[in-house]
Structures are given as structure tokens and as C-alpha cells.
């Protein structure tokens, strides 16, 4: 079956569950929702005309980047006309053991400030064909999150079963049992329909699972990363190392990704298809940021209720405290191993600098593009699997009055902030300890060592930046 053969059809009405309006009533709904914050959230979740059928219009399929023509059921809420900054997409099905969806939604809202809430919309796709289960869950969602539904921050949708391709007689790739193939193939279609729906809701889209918890002010952390990548090409940024949790896309790429998942829905699991999609759009390498902003919290998998204890050990509850790392040039006279160059220690991406054994007087130098007030510096050397490749003897210095030399820019004078202990150093209140704006940060090796050196992360926090919580 090709994607282009899919056509919308009429949807059977279930008045108590599928709340919506006709296309001609969008204006009245818009004004209703704009005034929703002033209303009693317990009074009503939808305007009086909500009993009519709402058919969400999608353009007819014309090319690979066009949206797919699907008639969605609106189970709770309707989208606002103004595009938000970020859409958070969740797809959920009935589990044999445990249900974490309500906790996930609560974590999203609880971990966001009032200002951040204005910039997000959460879309939940209830992708189970058990309509009684869906109705009961929608009732729970509307009871627990009425304010967010009224404000247009939370939508619950469903793509009717008749739009799904056949889930019988699928390819038995990877020797998976038939029920496993059916489960992962349907999951690909679930996500495709969710992505398709979310295309025009915001500028960016992040994919979550229905059993995660979020770090505090994760949107602010995301925005800092997105801003830092301006001018560079990327297809997918990753904010968790697990599965398809925390995968960020430009919303303009969602139609293509939706088509891609539908075209290959029976070939392989969703997280593998996401890797292929990224590569086909010419992003060869993983771009993953640390600390992780999302953590898997479910104990039982949605597949057969099997135990699933996966955890992301890079997750931090207070990830708003991610470093700023102002624009800079980097220099080192340490012999670099292969492509583990100096820039990788300074990047927030999960990479590192790796050099051959350093000698006394060797350095690793960061020269800012302009003088900067720095409040905190943290440097970590070595990795979990190479715990001896740390800086055994070294000092951290900051400098001023940078000048150009044949070896690159460097500062004329330095002040020592401290020495490395156990391969690491962290200095707080830097701007209160020195009397100048910093132009250089330098790591100096103070004794020969036989071991190689990994500089895992260099994290700097600027004193000017203040983030409201």
C-alpha cells in the first residue's frame, strides 16, 4: 500500500467523548479560548456549540512534504490559531500493567514556569482502539487538567482505526515474534499520525513517551540549546539517550517524518527509523546534549506489560542549570588523538577532547570572542570507562588583555583560581573573586603524566544571564 492511497472518511459520532465544532465555528472557538483564563475551569471545557462534529482539514496529499489527509477525533480541547514555540507530542495505548500518562502530563506542566507554559502545547494521541478505555482516560485528563485544556495548552486526539494500514501478515524482520512485529508496526503509525497532526502548531516539536518525567524548566534549557545552534544545520537534537524520548525537530520536517514512518512502518522499530531519517537528511552524527532533560519512569512496558527498568544516568532534575559557554576560540599544544579535537570538550554535545600524555607546561586555552563576566566554572576530565585518563596535576587560570600571536590569541596576564582534584575542578562566584571581565580560561598541566588525557566537559556560566523560574 502506498501512502498516497489513504483518504479521509466519515467518523462515527460518540457525543460524550469526541467533542468538536465545524470549520465555520473556529472564530467563535478562538475567542472563547482567548477568554478562557477568566472563566471558572470547573464550569465547562468547551463552548456551547461543542456538540457538533469538528473535522480537522488537512490538505490533500500532493508531495512527500505535504500533510496526510486524516480526519482526527478531538477528544479534549482544540488548537489555538497562534503558533507556539514548542509542541510536546505523546502517544499512549492501554497497558497491561501500570499507566503513567497522567504523571507524565503533570510533570510537563509542573516543571514549567508560567511564562514557559505560554509557549508550549501538549498533544496526546490516544492510539488505542478500545473506545471505552479512551473515554475513561479522557474523563480523568479533563478532571485533572481543566485549566490547561481551556487555555489551549493540552489537546487529546485520536486517529480512527479505519486510517490504519493492515497490521496482519507483516514482515517478520529480525526474527521478532508476530505480536511484537504488530506492536512496533502499529506504534510507527501511531507516531506518524501524531506528527502529522502537530505540523502547524509550533516552530519546534519534541517527541516524548507516555512514561517520563521532565527536568525543571526544560523549555528554557531547550531554548538555550536551540539558540546556540543558530546558523548550523541539524535535523534532530537529542535530550535523552533513551529510545525516542526527548528527540527535537523543526516542525517543518514533521510531514516528511510522518510519511517516512508510514512508508516503512513494518520494517523496524520507531527509534531505528528515526536514525535513518536523520541520516537521509544529511545529519550524519548524533547531536545529543547533556544533562538529559527527560527521564524514563515507567516500570512496565506498553508491550505485554514486560518489565522495563531503563534509566538515563545523564538526567538531572534541575537541568535549567546548564552552562552558557560563550562563543570562543580554542587552542591546545597537547597532541590530539584522531578527531577528538579541542572544540569537543567545550561543546554541550556528548563528546570530549582526547590527547596523548601531556607534559609540564602544556595547556588547553579558551579565548572568548569578547570579555565576559563568568560566575562559575566546572571542568571534568576522564570518563567512566577510562577513569585513568584524567588530569592528575593541573591548575585553572583566567586571563585578561588578549592579543594575537603566531599561535593564535592568548592573554597577557592570568590569575590562578585553583588546582584540579581527582581530575576535576569547580569554582563558584568567579566574578566576585577577580576584578576584571574574563577573556581567557586556561588549563595548565603542572606535572608530566604517563596516562592520556580526556577533557570530558568544560562548563561556564555567565554572570549576566538570569533565567526566571
Mean pLDDT lowest for which of 28-37, 64-73, 189-198, 323-332? Answer: 28-37
Q: What is the mean pLDDT of residues 13-40?
A: 37
Tell me the pLDDT band of 320, cut-offs 50, 70 and 90. low
Q: Is the pLDDT of residue 316 over 90?
A: no
Percentage of the chain lying above the pLDDT 90 cut: 38
Which architecture, in CATH terms, is 328-462? Sandwich (2.60)
Residues 73-296: name the CATH superfamily: Spore Coat Polysaccharide Biosynthesis Protein SpsA; Chain A (3.90.550.10)
* 356 CB-side CA count, 13 A: 5
Query: What pLDDT is stored for residue 219 in this prediction?
Result: 93
Quick: pLDDT tens for 123-155.
999 999 899 999 999 999 999 999 999 999 999
Q: What is the mean pLDDT of residues 79-91?
A: 92
Query: What pLDDT is stored for residue 380 in this prediction?
Result: 92
pTM greater than the 0.85 cutoff: no
Quick: pLDDT tens for 379-389.
999 988 888 99
One fold for both 73-296 and 328-462?
no
Q: Is the pLDDT of residue 319 over 80?
A: no
Q: What is the mean pLDDT of the chain?
A: 78
Q: Is the pLDDT of residue 335 over 60?
A: yes
CA distances from 414 to 190, 344, 401, 434, 458 (A): 57, 24, 9, 11, 18
Query: What pLDDT is stored for residue 182 in this prediction?
Result: 83
Give the start-to-end residue ranges of the domains of the chain. Answer: 73-296, 328-462
Distance CA 226, CA 250 (A): 10
Quick: pLDDT tens for 353-380.
999 999 999 999 999 988 888 999 999 9
Long-range contacts: 182-187, Cβ < 8 Å, 24+?
183/303, 184/268, 184/269, 184/270, 185/265, 185/266, 186/127, 187/91, 187/127, 187/269, 187/270
Residue 21: helix, strand or coil by DSSP?
coil
Q: What is the mean pLDDT of residues 162-167?
A: 84
In sequence order, the β-bridge partners of residue 364 are 332, 443
Mean pLDDT lowest for which of 169-178, 294-303, 406-415? Answer: 294-303
Q: At residue 277, what are phi and psi to the nearest 5 degrees?
A: -60, -45
Q: Is the pLDDT of residue 441 over 70?
A: yes
Amino acid at each position: 500500500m502506498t501512502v498516497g492511497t489513504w483518504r479521509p472518511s466519515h467518523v462515527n459520532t460518540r457525543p460524550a467523548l469526541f467533542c468538536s465544532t465545524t470549520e465555520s465555528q473556529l472564530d467563535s472557538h478562538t475567542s472563547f479560548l482567548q477568554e478562557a483564563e477568566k472563566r471558572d475551569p470547573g464550569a465547562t471545557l468547551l463552548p456551547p456549540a461543542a456538540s457538533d462534529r469538528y473535522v480537522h482539514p488537512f490538505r490533500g496529499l500532493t508531495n512527500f512534504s505535504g500533510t496526510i489527509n486524516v480526519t482526527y477525533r478531538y477528544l479534549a480541547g482544540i488548537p489555538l490559531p497562534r503558533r507556539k514555540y514548542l509542541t510536546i507530542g505523546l502517544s499512549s495505548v492501554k497497558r497491561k500493567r501500570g499507566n503513567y500518562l497522567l504523571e507524565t502530563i503533570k510533570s510537563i506542566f509542573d516543571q514549567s514556569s508560567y511564562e514557559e507554559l505560554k509557549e508550549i502545547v501538549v498533544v496526546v494521541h490516544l492510539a488505542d482502539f478500545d473506545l471505552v478505555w479512551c473515554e475513561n482516560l479522557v474523563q480523568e485528563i479533563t478532571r485533572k487538567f481543566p485549566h490547561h485544556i481551556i487555555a489551549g495548552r493540552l489537546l487529546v486526539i485520536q486517529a480512527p482505526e479505519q486510517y490504519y494500514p493492515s497490521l496482519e501478515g507483516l514482515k517478520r524482520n529480525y526474527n521478532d515474534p508476530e505480536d511484537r512485529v504488530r506492536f512496533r508496526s502499529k506504534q510507527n503509525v501511531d507516531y506518524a499520525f501524531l506528527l502529522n497532526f502537530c505540523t502547524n502548531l509550533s516552530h519546534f516539536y519534541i517527541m516524548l513517551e507516555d512514561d517520563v518525567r521532565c527536568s525543571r524548566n526544560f523549555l528554557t534549557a531547550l531554548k538555550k540549546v536551540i539558540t546556540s545552534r543558530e546558523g548550523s544545520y541539524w535535523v534532530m537534537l537529542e535530550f535523552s539517550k533513551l529510545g525516542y524520548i526527548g528527540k527535537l525537530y523543526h516542525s517543518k520536517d514533521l510531514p516528511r517524518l510522518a510519511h517516512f514512518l508510514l512508508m516503512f512502518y513494518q520494517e523496524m522499530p520507531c527509534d531505528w527509523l528515526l536514525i535513518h531519517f536523520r541520516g537521509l537528511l544529511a545529519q550524519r552524527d548524533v547531536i545529543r546534549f547533556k544533562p538529559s532533560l527527560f527521564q524514563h519512569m515507567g516500570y512496565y512496558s506498553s508491550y505485554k506489560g514486560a518489565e522495563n527498568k531503563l534509566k538515563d544516568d545523564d538526567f538531572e532534575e534541575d537541568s535549567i542549570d546548564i552552562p552558557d559557554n560563550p562563543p570562543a576560540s580554542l587552542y591546545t599544544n597537547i597532541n590530539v588523538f584522531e578527531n577528538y579535537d579541542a572544540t569537543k570538550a567545550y561543546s554541550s554535545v556528548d563528546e570530549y577532547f582526547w590527547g596523548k600524555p601531556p607534559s609540564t607546561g602544556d595547556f588547553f586555552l579558551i579565548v572568548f570572542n569578547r570579555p565576559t563576566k563568568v560566575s562559575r566554572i566546572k571542568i571534568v576530565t576522564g570518563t567512566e570507562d577510562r577513569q585513568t585518563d584524567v588530569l592528575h596535576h593541573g591548575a585553572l587560570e583566567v586571563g585578561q588583555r588578549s592579543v594575537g600571536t603566531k599561535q593564535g590569541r592568548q592573554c597577557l596576564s592570568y590569575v590562578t583560581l585553583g588546582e584540579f582534584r581527582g581530575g576535576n575542578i569547580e569554582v563558584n562566584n568567579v566574578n566576585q573573586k577577580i576584578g576584571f571581565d574574563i577573556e581567557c580560561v586556561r588549563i595548565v598541566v603542572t606535572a608530566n603524566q604517563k596516562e592520556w588525557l580526556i577533557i570530558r566537559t568544560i562548563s561556564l556560566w555567565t554572570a549576566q544571564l538570569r533565567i526566571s523560574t
